[in-house]
Homo-oligomer: A and B are copies of this chain.
Amino acid sequence: MADQKDEVVKNNTDNIPDENPWKTLSTQPVYNNAWIKVEEHQVINPGGTPGIYGKVSFKNQAVGIIPIDDAGNTWLVGQYRYTLNEWSWEIPMGGSPNKEDKIKTAQRELEEETGLIAGNIIELLHLHPSNSVTNEQGYVYLATDLSAGMQQLEDTEKDIQVKKLAFDDALKMAQNGEITDALSVAGIFYIALNRQKYIK
């Protein structure tokens, strides 16, 4: 079945063309605020046909942090997401301006949202949340060696709730659809797959 599939590259770097086949002919700015910039590009697509591409560029990188304490607990943050008009339980998360050190962002956002200070931060995943339309970069960190700091919510986060729970309960929520944020789900699954390394 589908024999030609057996012939394609075995090695991940083999055979990837050096050149991006998309060509940009011109760029028209259409919207700009503190968080995003939207442009319409006139393009030639990989099939050689002219068309448009609406590209949303992010001014911040999404930084998610999964705190794990010595008893195997983690913390989730719940809030209404304006874009969805829905309540969303997620890992602590924030925006890192593109030039800021992401570890600093991770430490600050964790403390602001949960009141936890992380003695140790490790990058787990670099993700592209929505690459059909945006250039958003997402990073997931593990935070350990936790101690008590000071929660300080931003004005847009005044409704957030913080929940401490066993990591395995958070994993259940990610598996059964109670957590839907893609960065949160991918990060929680990653730790679950490597639990002997990250959970005491």
Mark A residues whose CB is within 8 Å of B: 1-6, 8-10, 12, 15-17, 20-22, 30-31, 33, 35-36, 38, 40-41, 43, 45-49, 51-56, 58, 62, 75, 78-85, 87-89, 95, 114-116, 125-136, 138, 146-149, 154-159, 161-165, 173, 175, 177-178, 180-183, 185-186, 189-190, 192-194
CA distance A86 to B39 in the complex (A): 18
19 A-B contact pairs sorted by A residue (CB < 8 Å): A1-B146, A1-B147, A2-B149, A5-B75, A12-B178, A16-B87, A20-B82, A21-B80, A22-B80, A36-B54, A38-B54, A47-B155, A47-B158, A81-B132, A83-B134, A83-B135, A127-B181, A129-B130, A182-B182
**A73 smallest CB distance to B (angstroms):** 9
A2-B114, A9-B161, A130-B136 known; 16 new pairs, CB 8 Å cut-off, are A2-B148, A4-B115, A5-B75, A16-B78, A16-B161, A30-B31, A35-B132, A46-B80, A46-B155, A47-B157, A53-B82, A83-B135, A84-B128, A126-B177, A175-B190, A192-B193
